[in-house]
Amino acid sequence: MCTSDDRHFRTGKLARRWLAASLFCGFFSAVYEHFSHGVYSNFMIWLFLFPLILGVLPFAAVRLLHLPTPAHFAENSYDLGVVTLTVGSCLTGVFEIYGAPSEYMRWYWIVGSALAAVGLAAYLMGNGRSKI
């Protein structure tokens, strides 16, 4: 059985994981841009912002402001949305640098936004909040 302290600890842990993901994305982007022969993509340059703004900030706010912690459904849906948006940004940047944009990249933005919106809606409606 999870206690309130366990759930607050989990949100802090999630914020740290998103921070690590953001740092990894920044490092990956810098290395990729270094070897791109002077061709740049804003999707690759700003790749680290997706996990930073959409991952670290919300979970840190829940932790620091003592807001109700999200239940697993809301948390997982939101996390999948952020991951999908991050991967979509990375692949869009790769295809732009390579010079072969794909029409399928828009699906990453649609699906990622929808998953994040479902997770956020579940949390805000109360169904996605932890009862503890």
In sequence order, what are the beta bridge partners of 70?
129
For every one of its 132 residues, what pLDDT tens digit does the chain have, with 9 covering 90 and above? 455 556 667 888 899 999 999 999 999 999 998 888 888 899 999 999 999 999 999 999 988 888 888 888 999 999 999 999 999 999 999 998 888 878 889 999 999 999 999 999 999 987 555 555
Handedness of CA 5, 115, 88, 48 (dihedral sign): negative
Q: Which two tokens stand for residue 72?
A: 């697993």
pTM for the whole thing?
0.87
Q: Which two tokens stand for residue 36?
A: 């791109």
CA 25 from chain center: how many Å?
11
CA 41 from chain center: how many Å?
19
Question: Do 14 and 72 form a contact (C-beta atoms < 8 A)?
Answer: no
